[in-house]
Amino acid sequence: MPDGSHISARIGPNSVLQLAPAMDHIAGTGARRALFAPLGFDPLPDATSMIDEAHVAALHGALRRQHPENAREIFVAAGQGTGDYILAHRIPHAAQTLLRALPARVAAPILTRAILAHGWTFCGTGTLSAKSGPPVVFTLSDNPIIRGESAPAPLCHWHAAVFERLFARLVHPRAHAMETACCAAGAAACRFEIDWRH
């Protein structure tokens, strides 16, 4: 994975690429192309290039506004797809085997540190921090994907689904992620709690 220190105001392509199959399946290819094309995402971007986070935010916002009835389902499916991509292409198989063999209380901080080390790929210019658990708590300040948005409830279903997929596959199968605070709902930062003790 390239060093992200030189990247300014960009975010990983899975923030767009995983939305496409999710939306095709849930809302239909025509609806997806009608949403993506005016924002410059038809054809889809290259999977190896970072994307301007403002363009990603515009796409995510347009999806919420134009498809309120199934936006959450699409974001969750896209987050799961992003997690699956990370597992398939970004975390070595040997490391995954080791994490799965460890007790959850040992595996969780290792995975948390790895996520923090590469958080720029899905947090852009936002600031990601974490607290060990359980529950593990990730805090994302100035989340660029919802910057300027206003909502009565948390909006970051994509991020929550990414966290949940990774922890459920590598730490504990009952791991569940919930966004308990969101910048869009007036909080100082987006807060995600991951727990497996239920």
- Using one digit for the tens of pLDDT, what is the confidence trace for 129-170? 999 989 999 999 999 999 999 999 999 999 999 999 999 999
Convert the pLDDT of each residue in 22-67 to its tens digit.
999 999 999 999 999 999 999 999 988 999 999 999 999 999 999 9
Rounded to whole angstroms, the Cα distance separating 115 from 64 reads 26
Domains of the chain, each with CATH number or no CATH: 4-195 (3.90.1520.10)
**pTM score, whole prediction:** 0.93
161 with 78: CB under 8 angstroms? yes
Q: State the amino acid at position 94 in one-letter form.
A: A
